[in-house]
C-alpha cells in the first residue's frame, strides 16, 4: 500500500467515526469535520498520490502550473487545456479575480522564493502566501491551500503546505499531488534534493453527500497499489520552462474514479 493511501484513509476513518457534524457552512451542504489533520511524506522515498481511486494527475499539475508558473487568474487558459475545475467560480470577465496566480504575480513570490533558497538556504523566512488580506474579497474564492513554508536541511528541500479548509474527498487528493510536484520542481531548479512534504489541514471535512463515496473508497484499502514514480525532465533548470510534458507519473496503478459532488 502506498503511504499516501495509508495516511489519507486514516484521516477519512477518523472523520467518519469521530467527526463533528457541521450543519451550516458557506456552501449550504452539511459536513463532518475534524481540525488539525497532518500528513507527512518523504519525497525521496515515495510520491504521494492515491491509488484507492483515480486522481487526475495531469489536471492537477495543469492547475498548479497555471497558479505558480503562468501566475494567472484567467480561467480560459485552463479551459483551453480541458481543465474545468474553476468554471463554477469564474467572474464575468473570465477570471477568478485577485486570487491564486494573481497574488503570486502581484508579490513576485516564486522569484523571491527561488532567489532566497539559492542565496540563503538556512533562512527561516522562505514563505509563499496566497492569503493577502487587501485582495481576499477581490477573488471569487478565498484560497484554501494558501501558504507554503520552505526549509533546507542537509541538502534537501522541505515544504510545508498549510491548508485552511480541505474537501477531503475531492480537493485534498489534488492538493497532495500538486504541492509534492511543486516541491520537486523548486528543488530541481535550486539544486537541492526533494525532502519532506508536510500537509497541514486546519479544517478537514467530508460533505454529507460524499459519505457513500468515501465508504466505497475505504473498501479498497486492502487492495491499494504501490506508489508510482514521478519523472521530471532533468534538463529543465528554469522554473518557467516547465510544461505539462516535463512532469509525468510512471507506473501509476489505481482503482476507478469515484464520482462525488463539489460543494460550491
| Residue 207, domain CATH | 3.30.572.10
For residues 157 and 117, the answer to whether their CB atoms sit within 8 Å is yes
Task: Provide mean pLDDT across the span 73-95.
Answer: 97
Q: Is the dihedral of CA 256, 258, 259, 262 positive or negative?
A: negative
Ramachandran angles phi, psi of 87, nearest 5°: -60, -35
| Residue 215 placed within a domain | yes
pLDDT tens digits for 162-207? 999 999 999 999 999 999 999 999 999 999 999 999 999 999 999 9
Please tell me the total count of domains within the chain: 1
Confidence of residue 262 (pLDDT cuts 50, 70, 90): confident
pLDDT digits (tens, 9 = 90+) for 15-66: 999 999 998 888 889 999 999 999 999 999 999 999 999 999 999 999 999 9
Residue 63 lies in a domain: yes
pLDDT at 264 over 70: no
Q: Note whether 18 and 10 are within 8 A (CB).
A: no
Catalytic residue, chosen from 49, 144, 157, 224, is 144
CA pair distance 148, 160, nearest whole angstrom: 5
Q: What's the grid cell of residue 191? A: 539544486
Q: Is residue 151 situated within a structural domain?
A: yes
- CA dihedral of 217, 219, 220, 222, whole degrees rounded to 10: 140
Closest C-alpha among 202, 224, 203, 213 to residue 169: 213
What is the distance between the alpha carbons of residues 185 and 91, in angstroms, rounded to a whole number? Answer: 31
Q: Quick check: is 111 in a domain?
A: yes
Cβ atoms of residues 187 and 19 within 8 Å = no
Residues 6+ apart with CB under 8 A from 63: 78, 83, 85, 86, 174, 178
- Cβ-contact 68, 111 below 8 angstroms: no
pTM for the whole thing?
Answer: 0.97
Query: Helical H runs in 51-204?
Result: 57-68, 75-79, 101-106, 109-119, 171-190
Is residue 144 flagged as an active site residue? yes
Q: Is residue 253 part of a domain?
A: no
Is residue 33 situated within a structural domain?
Answer: yes
Domain span at 161: 3-248
Amino acid at each position: 500500500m502506498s503511504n499516501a493511501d495509508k495516511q489519507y484513509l486514516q484521516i477519512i476513518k477518523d472523520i467518519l467515526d469521530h467527526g463533528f457534524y457541521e450543519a451550516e457552512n458557506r456552501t449550504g451542504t452539511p459536513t463532518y469535520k475534524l481540525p488539525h489533520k497532518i500528513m507527512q511524506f518523504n519525497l525521496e522515498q515515495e510520491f504521494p498520490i492515491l491509488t484507492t481511486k483515480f486522481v487526475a494527475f495531469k489536471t492537477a499539475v495543469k492547475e498548479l502550473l497555471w497558479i505558480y508558473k503562468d501566475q494567472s487568474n484567467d480561467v480560459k487558459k485552463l479551459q483551453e487545456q480541458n481543465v474545468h475545475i474553476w468554471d463554477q467560480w469564474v467572474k464575468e470577465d473570465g477570471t477568478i479575480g485577485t486570487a491564486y496566480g494573481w497574488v503570486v504575480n502581484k508579490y513576485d513570490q516564486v522569484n523571491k522564493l527561488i532567489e532566497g533558497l539559492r542565496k540563503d538556504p538556512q533562512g527561516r523566512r522562505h514563505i509563499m502566501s496566497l492569503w493577502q488580506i487587501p485582495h481576499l474579497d477581490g477573488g471569487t474564492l478565498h484560497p484554501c491551500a494558501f501558504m507554503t513554508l520552505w526549509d533546507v536541511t542537509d541538502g534537501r528541500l522541505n515544504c510545508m503546505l498549510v491548508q485552511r479548509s480541505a474537501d477531503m474527498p475531492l480537493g485534498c487528493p489534488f492538493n497532495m499531488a500538486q504541492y509534492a510536484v511543486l516541491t520537486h520542481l523548486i528543488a530541481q531548479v535550486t539544486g537541492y534534493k526533494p525532502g519532506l512534504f508536510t500537509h497541514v489541514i486546519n479544517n478537514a471535512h467530508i460533505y454529507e453527500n460524499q459519505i457513500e463515496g468515501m465508504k466505497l473508497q475505504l473498501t479498497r484499502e486492502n487492495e491499494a497499489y504501490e506508489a508510482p514514480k514521478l519523472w521530471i525532465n532533468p534538463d529543465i533548470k528554469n522554473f518557467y520552462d516547465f510544461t505539462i510534458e516535463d512532469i509525468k507519473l510512471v507506473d501509476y496503478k489505481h482503482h476507478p474514479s469515484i464520482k462525488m459532488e463539489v460543494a460550491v
